[in-house]
Amino acid sequence: MNATQTTVLSILQDLTGEDLSDHLDTNLFDAGLLDSMGSVQLLLALQDQLGVEVPVSEFERSEWATPAKIVAKVASLQ
């Protein structure tokens, strides 16, 4: 597991209360773990901890639906 993945999973655990390291393909929205407020908190945490800026206007829910997709998206923006 690389540093980006570790940080993303840590942020998600803080936001959802769930350890998602074994559930990288879980749809966070369908599972009720993330909502629009959680999405904003996620983006703010990613900016704080990883220096990745994603304007809310560019947030495509489908691209950020699972922990694996979030890690990939963050890696592409770093």
Considering only CA atoms, which of 74, 63, 65, 76 is closest in space to residue 24? 65
pTM: 0.93
CATH number, domain of 50, equals 1.10.1200.10
| Phi, psi (degrees; rounded to nearest 5) at 10 | -65, -45
Considering only CA atoms, which of 14, 39, 41, 19 is closest in space to residue 29? 39
Q: Letter for the amino acid at 31?
A: A
**pLDDT tens string 13-68:** 999 999 999 999 999 999 999 999 999 999 999 999 999 998 888 889 999 999 99
Q: Letter for the amino acid at 21?
A: S
- Total domains in the fold of the chain: 1
Q: In which domain, by residue range, is 15 found?
A: 3-77
Q: Letter for the amino acid at 5?
A: Q
Average pLDDT (2-14) is 97
